[in-house]
Amino acid sequence: MDLSDVRVLDLTQLLPGPYATQLLADMGADVIKIERPDGGDPARRFAADPSPELAGIFEAVNCGKRSVALNLTNERAREAFYELAADADAVIEGFRPGVVDRLGVDYETLSARTEGLVYCSLTGHGQSGPDSDRSGHDLTYAAAAGFLDATRPAPDAAPVQPAVPVGDFAGGSLAALAVVSGLLERELGDGTGTYVDLSITDALVSFCQLLAADGPAAPSETVLGGKYPCYAIYETEDGRYLAIAALEKRFWERLCAATDNEELLDAHRADSERRREQVRETLAETFAGAPVETWERRLERADVPAAAVRSAAAALED
């Protein structure tokens, strides 16, 4: 998609909002980042953080954007913002509910000045409701949405803290989609703009809907959570790990043939827990007999969905 004729004003900071506008910038949009004069986006200060994942946040989600420092509590700075907004197609903000109203940069104010403006508010819990003013970060949104519960490796195990802030990326992705959808609606409709209220928690709830359909079952007891040996992760001879995704019967048949385990053909998704454990033990013993790259090549030739577990750095190198 070519957004080279689209201008976006970015009133967000840290990760969720900047990720949204980074996606738009990657599609060619002219993104102007509005920052505070006293140090700008707090993510800039992370550059000196000893943790690499924090140090790289600003650079990762602010490439190709322009930036201007404006103290929006100042009338002259606010007028300068209005001048920028006059030529803007979209605005994304990530303040707590009510802040943009106090600053005079809310949708009602800006849409009265800029015809056809698409405006997206991206917050943890949305603009209204009992949790709208509740503070939070990715981890707490994931907890509230049911996502953390889905990380428990066993019914009686504690949730596992994800290394990737999936809520921030989920919210950012849907915010970018909302802006593009709003622009499309404007072009296909009567030219009027739109306002989108987007909650990061709701974005994660959307991601977890399949788990809700399973009712009270623990993640490890669901089809995609590790219940069946055909859709699981195994350690290989070299201490690395291999992901197997032979959900369909045809893939299971190919897996059994490629690993010389034809005796498992009738146990693809066995009802018996005991039988499933027998299959899991057999496959674990099989995959422990060769390095991960050997298995990856062999299963690729057999057209079995399988992949070595790689680090994020290795994936980027590939």
Exposure string for 50-73, b = 16+ CB within 10 A, e = fewer: eeeeebebbeebbeebeeeebebe
> Which is the catalytic residue, given 168, 238, 266, 318?
168
CA proximity to 11, closest of 128, 120, 112, 108:
120
The reply to whether 168 belongs to the active site is yes
Residues with catalytic roles: 168
